[in-house]
Amino acid sequence: MRDIIRIKEKYYVLASSALADDRTRVLKYGDTFAVFNRYGDIEGVGQGQLGLFHLETRHLSRMTIRLNGQKPLLLSSTVREDNAFLSIDLTNVDIGASKRSGSILRGTVHVYRSKFLADGICYEQLRLANHGLTTIDLSLSMEFGSDYADIFEVRGSPRHKKGSIGSPELSTDCVKLYYHGLDAVTRTTTLQFSPPPASLTESVARYQLRSKPGEESAISTTVVCERNEIHKTSLSYGDAFVQRNAQCRDEVLDGCKISTSNKQFNEWLKRSEADLRMLIQGNPEGAYPYAGVPWFNTVFGRDGIITAMECLWMAPSIAKGVLRYLAFTQATDSIPEQDAEPGKIVHEIRRGEMAALKEVPFGQYYGSVDSTPLFIFLAGAYFLRTNDLEFLRSIWPNILRALNWIDTYGDADGDGFVEYSRKSEDGLNQQGWKDSGDSIFHADGQLAEAPIALCEVQGYVYAAKLAAASLARALGQPERAEALEGQANDLKWRFEEQFWNDELRSYVLALDGRKRQCRVSSSNAGHALFCKIAKPERAAITAETLMSERMFSGWGIRTVAAGEVRYNPMSYHNGSVWPHDNAMIALGLSRYGFQSRVLHILNGLYEVSSHVELLRLPELLCGFHKRADSSAPTLYPVACSPQAWAAGSVFMLLQAALALSIHAPQQAIHFSSPALPLNLAELTIENLQVGDAAVDLLVRRNQEGVAVEVLRRIGEVEVSKSV
């Protein structure tokens, strides 16, 4: 291949090659996703993440097209606004000598390539049109293959032994590839071609096309991914297209719509909504957002909860789906190799071969310290938003078990703080949201020793106790409610005593196993504001620290302040900027009335969205300071995109700016000193539902500040604003 050079026994991709282009195209439906290059190809070398994946196994590791043996030229490539369809325009290079008969000049043949996913099937159609003046003969080849790599294998985890590739089955228009896994699962990939190719082998389909001037021909391919040959029924390309297109109109935000006076901001909102639809639609768990593509196309407890919180004010149905599934998968036994303990909420669920064989511990893994209090926190927030007491009564036993985990397993040493230490030899060392191995450390750079009590986790526990108290009172258990409120107040007092640091002018990152402060300035302290565990006077000081030049890059708040020993703006958790982290901090700032600081964060991430492809906020970006000589942020090279809590961040940012709260038990919507950034003169919220009522609202800047007007009201709901 001309794109590859070989030096001894190693192969390298030329920098000038399309294989070196890291701009990928992502499709996802349910537990199937695909990552293509901009040509719509899956190359067998280059970017390791390319492929068609089903249930965490790569069913296609190669799928390319060639015209007369040559790669076509790229004209354009885009994923449609709704994220469902990938469209690529290609044309031919010069084929043959220019003076010989049978030559085809560059740009004669237009190739339109369209792809989409549905129910474990990848549908593709090629339309080739001759725009030349003469009849042409053209060879089209499709090369394909599968390595059946597990998702962890693709990420770099070595395997000492694999299953076996079975003998392919061939017919005139179909080839079926087999893999017999060590987990006793047979995985198959069936490629169906229409019309039948001139020749078909186990790795190449070849067409010989004769095309008159102005003539167009079409070739359709379906790739069916199965386990143990369930025999899925694939539709024709046209019928499947109609069905998939209709699904793109499904509501994911409960019919609530936001529009603004800023066209670019509207595009950011549309892309974020489409990303959420993409990460939810077709999932067997129901309305549960998968964490992100490509590495996290599965259930994550923490990610699902935070995404649900981000969208709660608009779309409480997501929270209900998340709560229901997490209650269903709550741990009931102590299983050290899974970091499972009774009452604990799941961290991650995997269904691939390596997880089934326990080559990785993440089949059903419980190694997160924060998912359990966050589960209770979300349940209380869902009640406040919906007054859906019937559903909450059904999961009340799960909430009680989660509370018991907090008080027993979570606080194993009885000091009043929830800590973590790994039980599984192969599990995560760090079990907060910053779960990379070097993320929790002391001021001198020494890693903290377990058990570790994280700053933000104490805030989550405080909020969880208050949430459970409100639910207990609503369920007619006032004595339990009073006890929980007392526990929350005690925790608040101990938190201020142990986690505040005057020198840092902030709460510390964590307490280590010897109860020593990890005196590091980090974004974790902002979550104390999000949970309202911070004293107002210390919240004000913390807000100043978070927005200082050491912490705020111009694009957003860094995970770790510049100047800390382990600060690295290119790291995963020690100096990078995460949209969801910033959104949670912004809502925390809003809860203490710091609206101008909220707008700084909103503006920073709005600018990030304007510089990234598809206006899609990535999982994270590098924490370099915004420079006058560079208008674009520095992207993190292997960030997931799309990712659920990055997509949901814009909705929480808007809630923070508007200082919007909804109290469904009182049928009330309240704005407390709402603010709008300078790039938004007005904002419209349509069909905001509270119980059986709904309103349309107009938020507009005027000379006195920001006004809120009710445009439409159905049912009884009060809308109020305070300054």
Instruction: Tell me the one-letter amino acid at 116.
Output: F
Q: Which residues, at least 6 apart from 690, have a Cβ–Cβ distance to it below 8 Å?
A: 662, 664, 667, 668, 669, 717
Rg (CA), the chain: 27
* Cα–Cα distance measured from residue 611 to residue 622, given in angstroms and rounded to the nearest whole number: 14
pLDDT at 182: 97
* Cα–Cα distance measured from residue 586 to residue 566, given in angstroms and rounded to the nearest whole number: 25
- Of 550, 591, 544, 615, the C-alpha closest to 271 is 615
Q: Provide the pLDDT confidence category of residue 45 given band limits of 50, 70 and 90.
A: low
What does 361-417 look like in DSSP terms, one character per residue? S-TEE---SSHHHHHHHHHHHHHHHH--HHHHHHHHHHHHHHHHHIIIIITTT-SSS
- What is the 8-class DSSP label of residue 20? G
Helix (H) or strand (E) holding 77: strand 73-79
Contact 688, 695 (CB under 8 A): yes
pLDDT at 631: 77
Q: Which residues, at least 6 apart from 416, have a Cβ–Cβ distance to it below 8 Å?
A: 490, 491, 494
pLDDT in tens, 494-536: 999 999 999 999 999 999 999 999 999 999 999 999 999 999 9
| Helix, strand or coil, per DSSP, at residue 9 | coil
- Total residue length of the chain: 723
Mean pLDDT along residues 168-176: 97
- Of 436, 305, 453, the C-alpha closest to 371 is 305
Scan for tokens 């899956």, then name that residue: 42
Is 60 exceeded by the pLDDT of residue 4?
Answer: no
pLDDT at 125: 98
Q: How far apart are the first and last CA of the chain?
A: 67
| Helix, strand or coil, per DSSP, at residue 552 | strand
Strands 32-36 and 186-194: unpaired
- What is the 8-class DSSP label of residue 614? G
Buried b (16+ CB within 10 A) or exposed e, 673-686: ebbbbeebebbbbb
- Residue 266 backbone dihedrals phi, psi, to 5 degrees: -60, -40
pLDDT at 723: 85
pLDDT at 13: 38
- Residue 482 backbone dihedrals phi, psi, to 5 degrees: -65, -40
- Residue 546 backbone dihedrals phi, psi, to 5 degrees: -60, -35
Scan for tokens 């060879």, then name that residue: 139
- Residue 316 backbone dihedrals phi, psi, to 5 degrees: -65, -15
Which of residues 32 and 2 earns the better pLDDT score?
A: 32
Angle CA 593–597–310, to nearest 5: 75
Q: Provide the pLDDT confidence category of residue 16 given band limits of 50, 70 and 90.
A: very low
What does 642-697 look like in DSSP terms, one character per residue? SBHHHHTHHHHHHHHHHTEEEEGGGTEEEEES----TT-SEEEEEEEEETTEEEEE
| Helix, strand or coil, per DSSP, at residue 164 | strand
Scan for tokens 């909705």, then name that residue: 651
The order of strands in the sheet holding 51-54 is: 25-29, 32-36, 51-54, 57-60
Is 60 exceeded by the pLDDT of residue 10?
Answer: no
Integer angstrom CA distances of residue 573 from 301, 341, 371: 19, 27, 19
* Cα–Cα distance measured from residue 717 to residue 668, given in angstroms and rounded to the nearest whole number: 6
Is 80 exceeded by the pLDDT of residue 229?
Answer: no
pLDDT in tens, 424-445: 888 999 999 999 999 999 999 9
Q: Provide the pLDDT confidence category of residue 224 given band limits of 50, 70 and 90.
A: very high
* Cα–Cα distance measured from residue 580 to residue 600, given in angstroms and rounded to the nearest whole number: 15
- The whole-chain average pLDDT of the chain stands at 94
pLDDT at 49: 87
Q: Provide the pLDDT confidence category of residue 17 given band limits of 50, 70 and 90.
A: very low
Mean pLDDT along residues 120-146: 96
Helix (H) or strand (E) holding 478: helix 478-499
pLDDT in tens, 290-343: 999 988 999 999 999 999 999 999 999 999 999 999 999 999 999 999 999 999
Integer angstrom CA distances of residue 458 from 131, 327, 465, 530, 685: 67, 22, 11, 12, 34
Is 80 exceeded by the pLDDT of residue 203?
Answer: yes
Is 90 exceeded by the pLDDT of residue 641?
Answer: no
Integer angstrom CA distances of residue 536 from 22, 532, 542: 46, 9, 10
pLDDT in tens, 89-130: 999 999 875 444 468 999 999 999 999 999 999 999 999 999
Is 70 exceeded by the pLDDT of residue 3?
Answer: no
Buried b (16+ CB within 10 A) or exposed e, 451-476: bbbbbbbbbbbbbbbbbbbbbbbbbe
Is 70 exceeded by the pLDDT of residue 21?
Answer: no
Domains assigned to the chain: 25-247 (2.70.98.40), 330-546 (1.50.10.10)
Integer angstrom CA distances of residue 231 from 121, 190, 351, 453: 12, 10, 20, 50
Which of residues 7 and 131 earns the better pLDDT score?
A: 131
pLDDT at 22: 56
pLDDT in tens, 571-619: 999 999 999 999 999 999 999 999 999 999 999 999 999 999 889 999 9
Instruction: Tell me the one-letter amino acid at 439.
Output: S
pLDDT over 70 for what percent of the chain? 96
Is 80 exceeded by the pLDDT of residue 398?
Answer: yes
Q: Which residues, at least 6 apart from 429, have a Cβ–Cβ distance to it below 8 Å?
A: 422, 437, 450
Strands 718-722 and 668-672: parallel
Model's pTM, two decimal places?
Answer: 0.94
